[in-house]
Amino acid sequence: MSETIQVRPAQLTDVSAMARVHVEAWAETYRGLLADHILDDPTFRSARERQWTTALTDPRFSSHRVAVAEEGDVLVGIAMSGPTSDGSDALHLYVLYVLQQWHGSGAGADLLEAVLPPDEAATLWVADPNPRAQAFYRKHRFEPDGIEKVEDDLKEIHLTREGCRIEV
């Protein structure tokens, strides 16, 4: 990881910057995969601000882990994990975005570890096609389980990672 990028738990004061990262990362990642009207919706940023405020303040999300990556005073990445909807012991990675300028900096790996320690079983959905993200998750032991879905005309594949004991 870049020595100038720090990963830490998200705070309520981060909400506006988290929403900015979320919206910018979606535009960078999904332009051409999602309809422009979704990415260019003028209410998208305020909706993300409400989402992140809820994630950080609502007791229903108290077991979720939310982290940010920052370089200096600029947020460059966001991540959130929490319980799966199926009641399994695995955690679900709901969000992991790093702005394109910081791809390859190590921020993504550090965010992933901050919200999903490497020994924990986990699941996630990833866009298909999204070869960069899919390679990143394979590197971190996630494998497709054959489940797919289409949401907002975006095909997604389900990935899982078995838990393991890390020897020290």
Res 145 pLDDT > 60: yes
Rounded-to-integer distance, Cα 64 and Cα 163, Å: 18
Instruction: Indicate whether 1 pLDDT > 80.
Output: no
Domain of residue 64: give its range: 5-161
**What pLDDT score does 166 carry?**
55
Question: 90: which 2 tokens?
Answer: 């695995």
The two structure tokens encoding residue 106: 């190590």
Instruction: Give 165's pLDDT tier (boundaries 50, 70, 90).
Output: low
Mean pLDDT, residues 15-30:
97
Is residue 166 assigned to a domain? no
pLDDT of residue 168: 53
* Residue 99 counted as domain residue: yes
- Residue 148 CA to residue 152 CA, distance in Å, equals 13
Average pLDDT, the chain: 93
The CATH number linked to 125 is 3.40.630.30
Yes or no: say if 140 and 109 are a contact pair by the CB < 8 Å rule: yes
Confirm whether 167 is domain-assigned. Answer: no
C-alpha–C-alpha distance, residues 10 and 115, integer Å: 11
Per-residue pLDDT band for 137 (boundaries 50, 70, 90) equals: very high
For 25-40, the pLDDT digits (tens) are 999 999 999 999 999 9
How confident is the model at residue 152, as a pLDDT? 82
Percentage of residues of the chain with pLDDT beyond 90:
87
In a domain, 73, yes or no: yes
Does residue 131 sit in helix, strand or coil?
helix
Give tens-digit pLDDT for 51-64. 999 999 999 999 99
Instruction: Please count the structural domains in the chain.
Output: 1
The predicted pLDDT at position 77 comes to 98
Any domain includes 168: no
Most confident of 3-7, 11-15, 160-164: 11-15
The predicted pLDDT at position 2 comes to: 56
23 belongs to a structural domain: yes
